[in-house]
Structure 1
Amino acid sequence: MDTTYKVSGSKQTFAPIRIGLSLFGNCRAALLEWHERKGIRARLFDLSDRELHDIGISRGEIDYVASNRDIDPRGIRSAG
C-alpha cells in the first residue's frame, strides 16, 4: 500500500520560527541600545563640570541626553 504525502510551503508552518527570530532580533537591538547608552553615560560622567557646560548640558541632564540622543538638549535644531 502506497501512501502519498503532500508537502506544502505553508507560511503558517514557520510562523513560530519567524516570531522567535523577530523576538531575538528585538532583544538583541534593545541590548545593543542599552550598552550604547551605558557607554555614553560613562563618557559624560567622566567629563568635568566645565566640559559639560561647554557642550551645553549639566550633570543632572546626563541620563536624559544619553537616553534621547536624537534630541539636542540646547534646543538647537540642525538644518537637515
Structure 2
Amino acid sequence: MSTIQATTKLGPTTAKRQVYSPLETYWNAFQEWRKRERQRTELCRLTDSELMDIGITRGEIDYVASNYSISPDPLRWKSDVGTLR
C-alpha cells in the first residue's frame, strides 16, 4: 500500500487559444492591416527633421510600417534596409 506525501497545485492554464474560424482569421488580418495603416499615417505626418531624429527617411516609411520583424532598436533594422530575405 502506498501513500501520497504531497499534493500538486493546479494553476490556471496559459495556453493561447487557437483560431478555427476563417472569419476570425480574416478579422485578425484586417486588424493588423489597420494597425499598419495607422502607423504609416502617423509617420507620414512627421516632418523630415522628425523622421531624421528617429533614424528613417520618408522613403523608408512603407518598409517600416509593413515589416513585422523590425526591432525597437533602430540600428538593428536600419542595416536590413535594402537586403533581400
Name the TM-score, length of structure 2 as normaliser.
Answer: 0.59
Q: Where in structure 1 do 4 or more consecutive aligned residues deviate above 6 Å?
A: none
> Which digits, 9 at most, give the CA deviation of each residue in 1:15-56, with x for residues without a partner?
xxxx9x521111001100110111001000000000000000
Say whether residues 1:48 and 2:47 are aligned partners: yes
Name stretches of at least 5 consecutive residues in structure 2 with no aligned partner: 1-18, 78-85
Name the TM-score, length of structure 1 as normaliser.
Answer: 0.62
CA change 1:43–1:70 in 2 (3 A) is: same
Equivalent in the alignment of 1:74: 74
> Which digits, 9 at most, give the CA deviation of each residue in 1:52-75, with x for residues without a partner?
000000000001101114314833
Name stretches of at least 5 consecutive residues in structure 1 with no aligned partner: 1-18
Larger radius of gyration: 1
SS where residue 76 of structure 1 aligns?
helix
**Aligned pairs, number:** 58
Deviation, 1:76, is: 2.6
Amino acid at match of 2:76: I
Once superposed, what is the RMSD of the aligned Cα atoms? 2.3
Q: Whose helix proportion is higher, 1 or 2? A: 1
